[in-house]
């Protein structure tokens, strides 16, 4: 690839070799004046990921600029690792993955296949159509919502899933997102912390401001007594250690997030499931809830719950005209409870 392409995809092995040929190492990256521009760009990668879920598109007109742009990627990863903050890791990984998606849309098929290989995704062309092995497809679409991502709804031939370009690129976006999340945070020592301390202070300050801005006020104390019958049933299923369909897990996790239950408590609720896997459950729950700071999915409405076979023993309120969503049910019950606690007004003597 040309140096401009390597600057667009700095995670590539070829990009790493391109920099190594310039005899630049970690010490140069964190402290030498020759890499000052890389540090500036790296810090910007983190800050814009946090604020806008984007990565800057810096102009690259020479090999020297390409080196600075490529090195901005490991420097950004260092800053994220120095914070040790899971929210920032997930936010940064998603921003890099989304930028990757936008850039891939402009690439030709052979380039996309090359980049898929960098992510260890088995890809090829069949009659000018992109395809990947079904195991890779399953691995990276398990957290994607919608029937269009189910394997049974795919064009499957000889163990490969054929996909149009935009959908193929979406799967690669997920692959890069998961790869970055798995790799971070990197181990850092005191020497690194001291070297990046000024930039790190700015990142931490921005992170704290971001968290404060998006802090969830919730609906007050979570009370299962206010839950609609469908959510009570799903909670009971989880606590009993019974298998729950993916649609049920999604509905419950998103509902609990919206009424203010902490993410760690939601994860614990699923720990009795027969197929419980701590890392997978944590990833899926955080993906659904946004961990309170990223994109958060809304719980399905009542009609969708019925379609998915998740509407259990609807009560009088469910059957009323006012309720078409589990959150509406919860809000009405919360309002009724708070009204019941109000002191009665004194009546005038007759």
For residues 72 and 38, the answer to whether their CB atoms sit within 8 Å is yes
pLDDT computed for residue 205 by the predictor:
96
The band of 91, judged by pLDDT with boundaries at 50, 70 and 90, is: confident
Mean pLDDT confidence for 208-235: 73
pLDDT computed for residue 118 by the predictor:
96
pLDDT computed for residue 336 by the predictor:
63
Is 80 exceeded by the pLDDT of residue 99?
yes
Mean pLDDT confidence for 93-119: 95
pLDDT computed for residue 275 by the predictor:
63
Instruction: Pick the range with the lowest mean pLDDT from 53-62, 233-242, 257-266.
Output: 233-242
pLDDT mean across residues, the chain: 88
pTM over 0.75: no
pLDDT computed for residue 228 by the predictor:
94
pLDDT computed for residue 38 by the predictor:
98
For residues 123 and 130, the answer to whether their CB atoms sit within 8 Å is yes
Is 60 exceeded by the pLDDT of residue 344?
no
Is 90 exceeded by the pLDDT of residue 214?
no
The band of 294, judged by pLDDT with boundaries at 50, 70 and 90, is: low
- The domain locations on the chain are 3-84+185-199, 109-175, 224-340
pLDDT computed for residue 101 by the predictor:
95
The band of 343, judged by pLDDT with boundaries at 50, 70 and 90, is: very low
Mean pLDDT confidence for 250-265: 90
Return d(Cα 303, Cα 310) in angstroms, integer. Answer: 10
pLDDT digits (tens, 9 = 90+) for 138-176: 999 876 766 788 899 999 999 999 999 999 999 999 999
Q: Which residue has the higher pLDDT, 39 or 328?
A: 39
Q: Which residue has the higher pLDDT, 346 or 189?
A: 189
Q: Which residue has the higher pLDDT, 344 or 133?
A: 133
């Amino acid at each position: 690839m040309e140096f401009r392409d390597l600057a667009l995809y700095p995670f590539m092995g070829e990009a790493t070799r391109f920099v190594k040929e310039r005899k630049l190492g970690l010490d140069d990256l964190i402290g030498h004046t020759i890499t000052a521009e890389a540090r500036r760009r790296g810090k910007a990668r983190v800050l814009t990921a946090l604020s806008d879920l984007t990565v800057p598109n810096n102009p690259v007109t020479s090999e020297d600029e390409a080196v600075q742009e490529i090195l901005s990627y490991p420097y950004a990863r260092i800053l994220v690792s120095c914070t040790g903050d899971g929210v920032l890791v997930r936010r940064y990984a998603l921003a890099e993955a989304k930028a990757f998606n936008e850039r891939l849309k402009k690439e030709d098929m052979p380039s996309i296949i090359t980049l898929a290989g960098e992510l260890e995704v088995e890809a090829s062309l069949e009659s000018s159509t992109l395809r990947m092995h079904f195991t890779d497809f399953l691995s990276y679409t398990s957290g994607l919502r919608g029937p269009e991502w189910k394997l049974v709804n795919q064009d499957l031939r000889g163990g490969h899933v054929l996909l149009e370009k935009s959908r193929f690129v979406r799967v690669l976006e997920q692959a890069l997102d998961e790869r970055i999340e798995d790799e971070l945070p990197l181990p850092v020592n005191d020497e690194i912390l001291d070297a990046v301390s000024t930039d790190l202070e700015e990142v931490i300050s921005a992170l704290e401001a971001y968290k404060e801005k998006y802090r969830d006020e919730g609906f007050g104390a979570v009370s299962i007594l206010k839950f609609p019958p469908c959510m009570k049933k799903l909670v009971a299923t989880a606590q009993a250690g019974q298998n729950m369909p993916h649609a049920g897990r999604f509905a419950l996790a998103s509902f609990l997030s919206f009424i203010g239950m902490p993410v760690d408590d939601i994860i614990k609720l699923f720990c009795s499931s027969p197929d419980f896997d701590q890392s997978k459950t944590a990833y899926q729950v955080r993906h659904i809830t946004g961990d309170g700071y990223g994109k958060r999915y809304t719980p399905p409405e009542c009609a969708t719950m019925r379609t998915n076979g998740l509407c259990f023993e609807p009560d009088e309120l469910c059957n009323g005209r006012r309720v078409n969503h589990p959150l509406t049910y919860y809000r009405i019950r919360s309002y009724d409870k708070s009204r019941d606690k109000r002191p009665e007004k004194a009546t005038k003597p007759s």
